[in-house]
Amino acid sequence: MIDNQDSIAPAGVKRRHLIGGAALGVTMGALGGLAGGVALADGAKLPQQKPSGKRRFENKVVLVTGGTSGIGRAASLMFAAEGGKVAFCGRNVERGKQVQDEIGEAGGEAVFIRADVRNESEVKALVDRTIETYGKLDVAFNNAGISIEKPLHEYAASEFDDVLNTDLRGVFLAMKYQIPHMLARGGSILVTSSSNAIATTAKRSAYSAAKRGLVGLVQAAALDYAQHGIRVNALIPGTTDTPFIRRLSGMENLPDAAWHVAVSQWAKTHVPGMQRVATAEEIAAFAVTLASDDHPYTTGGQFVIDGGKTAQAG
């Protein structure tokens, strides 16, 4: 699955609404003066976030949806680095095997299970196989999501449904099959929402509706299961440098140097506060902390990590 994030397009670049897939026809010329060379790109590089070195998930089983790229991939690696046995899903088998191999080569333990969170039988099979493989479930990071961007009246009903079925219903299905395995022993469930649940922009009615819906889902579920020792929280990331926003912005085929310059310039005017986007590893590190036992009194919460992006909204 594709990670949940904002999209970026330089001035004058028309955004189309494809989900991943083909390039959107953006050329180097459309970036104007932004792609001023490798020297500028070096100045736009983001800080590196490494695993904590702690072992907070030793003897714990973690399930991650949307684990083959972006935030989900980074989180899968971090959970494993902290001793967790990680089952993760996505739709792209090649990327899934790459992440599984990467975790194994680093000394971790993980299994990739292909699953589409829109498909109930595949979600059930994902959870069942996790239990068959590792015997239990302690932590779930329900992260998978997509976006289609266009004015509301231009959505086909099927497009609107596709976003909600992935981003909102997909989380419901994951929790529906995860929770029964946590009722007797407790657990931690973290859901990836978005800063668009707080303050959004044009052409994101489907995405924003789904992401705000997740906050309500988390709050109600937290009350349903608090007495069972299951914590349910929402992660609310701001714009993050992932393949998701690069594709959605139509810049997946640009050289890395040009991309880093473009996203850096965009952030200076769109991210009040830190004036930069996050790395997937920064968001993943926060997710891992929230999912751990470090903060046992947290449930039903909305944890914003957006560099100040929504601080001046409203």
Return d(Cα 285, Cα 278) in angstroms, integer.
11
Return d(Cα 26, Cα 35) in angstroms, integer.
13
pLDDT tens-digit map of 58-68: 999 999 999 99
Convert 162-174 to b/e letters by CB count within 10 Å (16 or more is b): bbbbbbbbbbbbb
Return d(Cα 29, Cα 177) in angstroms, integer.
49
Confidence (pLDDT) at 313: 55
The residues of the chain scoring below 70 in pLDDT are 1-46, 49, 52, 313-314
- Contact yes or no for 60/85 (Cβ under 8 A): yes
> What six digits make up the tokens of 208?
């924003």
- Contact yes or no for 312/272 (Cβ under 8 A): yes
Return d(Cα 30, Cα 14) in angstroms, integer.
10
Confidence (pLDDT) at 35: 39
State the amino acid at position 10 in one-letter form. P
- Residues labelled as active-site residues: 207
- Residue given tokens 């595949």 in the structure block: 122
275: left (phi over 0), alpha (psi -120 to 50) or beta: left
Phi, psi of 193 (to 5 degrees): -95, -140
Confidence (pLDDT) at 270: 85
- Cα dist. 199→52, 191, 204, 208, 311 in Å? 31, 18, 11, 9, 10
User: Is the full-model pTM beyond 0.75?
Assistant: yes
Domains of the chain: 55-240+279-305 (3.40.50.720)
Confidence (pLDDT) at 110: 98
Confidence (pLDDT) at 108: 98
